[in-house]
Amino acid sequence: MISDRLKNVILKELKLDEYDIQDETLANQIPGWDSLNHINVILAIEKDYGVRFKGYEVLKCKNIGDLQKLVDSKVS
């Protein structure tokens, strides 16, 4: 399940007031999440959580649920 914290970081970075983000949601389904903003979203997540991702870790994420699992693995 997507945490409110991760959802809020994504929405804030993409300047969206609200959007229904679920585990199965793909990045390209979220308005404004294009290839350029992808980098900005990942950097915002790293900053908010105080973690660093390797490129291949992010590339393995198929959906937002995978991204949440990656964040959780770094935080714990």
Report the pLDDT averaged over residues 48-75: 97
Q: What is the tens place of the pLDDT at every residue in 62-76?
A: 999 999 999 999 998
Domains, the chain: 4-75 (1.10.1200.10)
Tell me the whole-structure pTM to 2 decimals. 0.94
Query: Is the CB of residue 5 less than 8 Å from the CB of residue 75?
Result: no
Q: How far apart are CA 75 and CA 13, in angstroms?
A: 20
Q: DSSP letter at 17?
A: S
Mean pLDDT, the chain, integer:
97
